[in-house]
Chains A and B, each alone.
Chain A
Amino acid sequence: MSAQPSGTQAFLARFEGLREHLPGGRTPWVAQLRAEAAELFGAAGLPGRRIEAWRYTDLAPIAQAGFSEALTLVRETPALPPMRAPYRAVFVDGRFAENLSLLPGSYRCGSLAAGLDGAQGLLGALAEKLPLVALNTMLFEDGLLLDLPADTDGGVLELVSLASHTGRPIAFHPRHLIRIGDGASLTLIETSTGPAGAAYLHNPVFEIAVGAGATLSHVRIQREGRAGFQLSTVQAAVQAGGTYDNFTLNAGARLVRNEIHAALLGPKATCHMNGAQLAGDGQHADTTTFLDHAAPDCASRQTYKTVLAGKSRGVFQGKILVRQAAQRTDGYQMNQALLLSEEAEIDAKPQLEIYADDVKCSHGATVGALDEAQLFYLRARGIPAEQARAMLVQAFLVEAVEGVTNPIAQAALAEATEGWWEREAA
């Protein structure tokens, strides 16, 4: 077993070649951040399976793919999904596409590369010392810079990520910085898609600061191409009385790692993390969450559902940390998996780490196949087998999906999930 996959060296070499040309390459504080990140990434490398947090997800295919950056501009614009919300920010291969976007004018929202000067103090402020975050810091080309002032209703914004068909394996590492001022609120609906046959790596990192009493509802719909890879890291810090809601649907990509770190830093902060993973033949879907209860009287709720068909693998790892100061914490986590095929594999590792005594924390996990009795019930009423299965799969997902209340998000979600089983079974 090699100690460090070859991919690590390739990414470092890319950075050496590009460092002057990346956004902020000549701005000392940015250059320093990137250099520090390169050092961290160089030391840690692409995480291997011997690292506890990566025991179920193997990044070897990424290491072997030999990705390079999408340096050339895209000639053809990939097909855009229909616009649902009043505003949207579009990124093609990780770069902001101004001509495709429609941004709100009332607050700062736009390209990070263009507004780097305004990002000092924000960029890297929440970044944890994780190899993939470091990889992003080292190589990010652009991202969304959003700063919503206090007591503002930001409405609904779409964040669209598209991968173009370049004919070679490309990697892009967008960095999204989002700050929700005290008492402000925003719904962010993120969709990521890519061409079906293209091998590419989308490695987004979010740094999200939710102010006191503020609310961010973050809906993520991942429908990358089936040959693509997505490694995403969301890092959210929530102040007193604030709320961060994250819903993630993983439906695409050959391999996806959806890592969410949320820290509840002030009293009475709330975090909801829900998600659904639908993996079919040849797919690997990994959701890893880390909820850090650092203040008293906070609440967190997590519900994750994984449905596996064909030769697929699902992973759920969820850790709840309750620090000593976090008295009267209410933490709940549920993860359930449905195995529809004999070749599927699910690995789950829920985890509680608790240092405060006045807490109510629980987690649950279940794994199983479709209930034969339920199938029989439906079939006895004349519903064909495949349709009955599809109904039961939908029903299985309800609990995780019902937390999404915004109608625009619901529509996007419905489009991604409906007919999934029929397509997989076909």
Chain B
Amino acid sequence: MAAVAETLETVQAANDGGYKWGFETDIAMEFAPKGLSEDIVRFISAKKNEPDWLLEWRLKAYAHWLKMEEPEWAAVSYPKIDYQDAYYYAAPSNKVVPKSLDEVDPELLRTYEKLGIPVQEQQRLQGIAVDMVFDSVSVATTFKDRLAKEGIIFCSISEAVQEHPELVRQYLGSVVPQGDNYFACLNSAVFTDGSFVYIPKGVRCPMELSTYFRINAKSTGQFERTLIIAEAGSYVSYLEGCTAPMRDENQMHAAVVELVAMDDASIKYSTVQNWYPGDSEGKGGIYNFVTKRGACRGARSKISWTQVETGSAITWKYPSCMLLGDDSVGEFYSVAVTNNHQQADTGTKMWHVGRNTRSTIVSKGISAGQAQNTYRGLVKISPKAVGARNFTQCDSLLIGDKCGAHTVPYIENRCATAKVEHEATTSRIAEDQLFYCRSRGLTQEEAVGLIVNGFCREVLKELPMEFAVEAQKLLAISLEGSVG
């Protein structure tokens, strides 16, 4: 009892102090001026007290970005983005924080309730003080101790730049080079935060790592940069995002995630993305342009991506694996739900280079309302990838006759001993399935939720357990009002 009270006090004190500090020093420079220029890039770098090499790296990316053109090949349409009409640096925490749940949008609270998120957590998600600080700080410190004991580094990328510059310098941009694509290049120039994970040789990370518990990441940045390195024989499972709806005022997100797996290492990366999708008329919502790529550099290494994408007005995202090491394995499990006017163009790239490399792709697209949902994927087998193996399955489910479901797989094989299989289906929820459920007393919405969950089962079972339970509820909520 006493210990708890003491902790509470300490935390509160630290928090108050920290807040005061932050306020005083940052007051004049909460925001960089609107627009993007070399000066802004310098400003961000200086603000983060970065070493020269990183500033130069950013500037190089910026110079390259100026020469690039925004890609137009994806099956998404949106008004032209004015890159000069945005803030590229805004310190978090100057938002008006609601004092209690009574001040929070009741629509949001209803959703929390349906997801079964406990009250404390609801408060935490809304940034409501004390409890949440107590919770996450204590949790985080316990975690940090345990991780440190194993030699695991888990911190924000800004922190890593200060404390482990040699690691950051070695790996940053080594999987997603600066000029990889328009959005990744922009991110390279102006990224503000993100996570950094380093798992030393032979260490099995004792817990699921998550942005959720990382205290530095109260507000996810507009240009996140995440870097995960798994040394030989190590294992880590990383969770990104959470199932609760995130009301984020940033319109455009351009994140980059890089994963590196050495010999026998294994990285499991799970994402649940539930950002604001815009209203039922298609107004507002997040534009999510994400570059995620993992390099299986070592022999027998493995990278597994699992994603449940239900939010955002536009999703442009292709978590990929470069299977360089012999016998390395890449996996991609995806559920993408689009409703109302949402558009998703998502998929993966599996690039087989090493011998006996294997990849599995399972993609489930669900389209309702007037939404458009596209799977776009590439399986590329290079001549050296002797004995490579790929299996791809893409299923689409249509709910309503105004939406679209599209499948665009690319197969490029230059190796005679490789075996590639692809199958895709498109169908709708059958009347007899609905009738069966309804006649057993389920409401229309419950029935749809049940059928959709069955349709997505192969992907959901890849999620860590707690996540999977919430994700199931989330699917049903995302499709509310789309049937009947």
Is B409 an interface residue, CB under 8 A from the partner? Answer: yes
Docked pose: A347 CA to B379 CA in angstroms: 10
Find out whether the CB atom of A367 lies under 8 angstroms from the CB atom of B419: yes
Docked-complex contact A364 and B423, CB < 8 angstroms: yes
Q: Closest CB-CB distance, B418 to chain A, in whole Å?
A: 7
Which residues of A, 314-353, contact B by the 8 Å Cβ criterion? 324, 327, 337, 339-342, 344-353
Could you tell me the distance between the alpha carbons of A368 and B417 in the complex, rounded to whole angstroms? 6
Residues of A within 8 A of B411 (CB): 346-349, 365, 367
Whether the Cβ atoms of A361 and B422 lie closer than 8 Å is: no
- Partner among A52, A340, A363 whose Cβ is within 8 Å of the Cβ of B423: A363
- A356 on the interface (CB 8 Å rule)? yes
Inter-chain contact B425/A361, CB cutoff 8 Å = yes
Q: Which listed residue (B396, B400, B401, B413) contacts A352, Cβ 8 A? A: B396
What's the minimum C-beta distance from A306 to chain B, rounded to whole angstroms? 11
Kindly state whether residue B250 has any CB partner on chain A within 8 Å. no
Q: Which of A324, A348, A357 has the most CB of B within 10 A?
A: A357
B413 touches A357 (CB 8 A): no
User: Does A393 touch B at the CB level, under 8 Å?
Assistant: no
Tell me the complex Cα distance, A169–B73, Å: 37
Residue from the list B401, B406, B413, B425 in contact with A347, Cβ < 8 A: B413
A348 and B412 CA atoms in complex are apart in Å by 6
B366 to nearest A CB, angstroms? Answer: 12
Q: Output the nearest chain A residue to B411 by Cβ-Cβ distance.
A: A348
Q: Which of B410, B416, B422 has the most CB of A within 10 A?
A: B416
| B407 at interface by CB-CB < 8 Å | yes
Q: Name the interface size band of chain B.
A: 20 to 34
Interface positions of B from 389 to 447, Cβ below 8 Å from A: 396, 398-428
Q: Which residues of A contact B422 (CB under 8 A)?
A: 348, 350, 363-366
Q: Does B383 contact A (CB under 8 A)?
A: yes
A354 sits at the interface (CB 8 A): yes
**Do A364 and B424 touch (CB < 8 A)?**
yes
Contacts of B413 in A (CB 8 A): 337, 339, 345-348, 367
Chain B residue nearest to A363 in the complex (CB):
B424
Are A359 and B383 in touch, CB under 8 angstroms? no
Hey, which chain A residues are within 8 Å of B419, CB to CB?
A: 366-369
Q: Across the interface, do A358 and B428 meet the contact criterion of CB distance under 8 Å?
A: yes
A351 to chain B: which residues have CB within 8 Å?
406-409
CB distance from A351 to the nearest CB of B (A): 5
Residues of chain B from 231 to 257 with CB closer than 8 A to chain A in the complex: none
Q: Which of B190-233 contact A (CB under 8 A)?
A: none
In the complex, A52 Cα to B417 Cα: how many Å? 28
Are B417 and A347 neighbours in the complex by a CB distance under 8 Å?
A: no
- B100 to chain A minimum Cβ distance, whole angstroms, is 44
Q: Is the CB of A342 within 8 A of B383?
A: yes
Interface class of chain B by DSSP = strand
Residues of B within 8 A of A337 (CB): 413
**In the complex, A374 has a CB within 8 A of chain B:** no
Minimal Cβ-Cβ distance residue in A for B426: A361
Interface residue? A360 (CB, 8 A): yes
Closest residue of B by beta carbon distance from A333:
B424
Indicate whether A355 reaches chain B with its CB closer than 8 angstroms. yes
Alpha-carbon gap, A354 to B365, bound state (A): 12
Provide the residues of chain B in CB contact with A364, threshold 8 Å. Answer: 421-424
Which residue of chain A has the shortest Cβ distance to B390 in the bound complex? A367
- B416→A369 contact, CB < 8 A: yes
C-alpha gap A365/B108 in the complex (Å)? 44
The contact of A349 among B400, B402, B408, by CB within 8 Å, is B408
Q: B401 touching A357 by the CB < 8 A rule? A: yes
Closest B residue, CB atoms, query A342: B416
Contacts of B403 in A (CB 8 A): 355, 357
Contacts of A344 in B (CB 8 A): 414, 416
Q: Are B424 and A352 in contact (CB under 8 A)?
A: yes
Q: How far is the CA of A356 from the CA of B412 in the complex (A)?
A: 30
Chain B residues, Cβ within 8 Å of A357: 398-401, 403, 428
* Listed residue (B73, B407, B425) with the most chain A CB atoms within 10 angstroms of its CB: B407
Residue of A nearest to B368 (CB): A357
| Residues of chain B with a CB closer than 8 A to A324's CB | 401-402
Docked-complex contact A349 and B424, CB < 8 angstroms:
no
Kindly list chain B residues whose C-beta atoms are within 8 Å of the C-beta of A349: 408-411
Q: Does A362 contact B (CB under 8 A)?
A: yes
Asked if residues B414 and A345 are in contact (CB atoms below 8 Å), the reply is: yes
Which residue on chain A has the smallest CB distance to residue B75?
Answer: A353
Of B405, B416, B427, the contact of A340 (CB 8 Å cutoff):
B416
Q: Which residues of B contact A346 (CB under 8 A)?
A: 411-413
In the complex, chain A residues 364-378 whose Cβ is within 8 Å of any chain B Cβ:
364-369
Across the two chains, which residue of chain B brings its CB closest to A345? B414
Tell which of B399, B409, B415 touches A350, judged by Cβ atoms closer than 8 Å.
Answer: B409
Residues of B within 8 A of A341 (CB): 416
Chain B residue nearest in CB terms to A346 = B413
Nearest chain A residue, comparing its CB with the CB of B429: A357
CB-CB nearest in chain A for B427: A360
How near does chain B come to A53, taking the closest CB pair, in angstroms?
A: 12
Would you call A354 and B406 a contact (CB within 8 A)? yes
Q: Nearest Cβ distance between residue B388 and chain A, in whole angstroms?
A: 10
Q: Is the CB of A347 within 8 A of B409?
A: no
Complex partner residue of B409 from A356, A365, A369, CB under 8 angstroms:
A365
Q: Give min CB distance, B301 to chain A, whole Å.
A: 24
User: Chain A residues with Cβ under 8 A from B73's Cβ?
Assistant: 52
Q: Which residues of B contact A345 (CB under 8 A)?
A: 412-414
What is the CA–CA distance of A339 and B411 in the complex, to the nearest angstrom?
14
Interface residue from A340, A352, A359, A368 paired with B420 (Cβ < 8 Å): A368
Q: List 25 A-B contacts (CB under 8 A).
A: A345-B412, A345-B413, A346-B413, A347-B411, A348-B409, A349-B409, A350-B409, A350-B422, A351-B406, A352-B396, A355-B404, A356-B398, A357-B399, A357-B401, A358-B428, A359-B398, A361-B425, A362-B423, A363-B423, A363-B424, A365-B420, A365-B421, A366-B421, A367-B420, A369-B416
Top 7 A-B pairs, shortest CB-CB distance: A357-B398, A339-B416, A367-B420, A365-B422, A348-B411, A352-B407, A368-B419
Residues on B lying within 8 angstroms of A by beta carbon are 73, 383, 396, 398-428
- A sample of 6 more A-B contacts (CB under 8 A), given A346-B413, A367-B418, is A341-B416, A350-B424, A354-B396, A354-B398, A361-B425, A363-B423
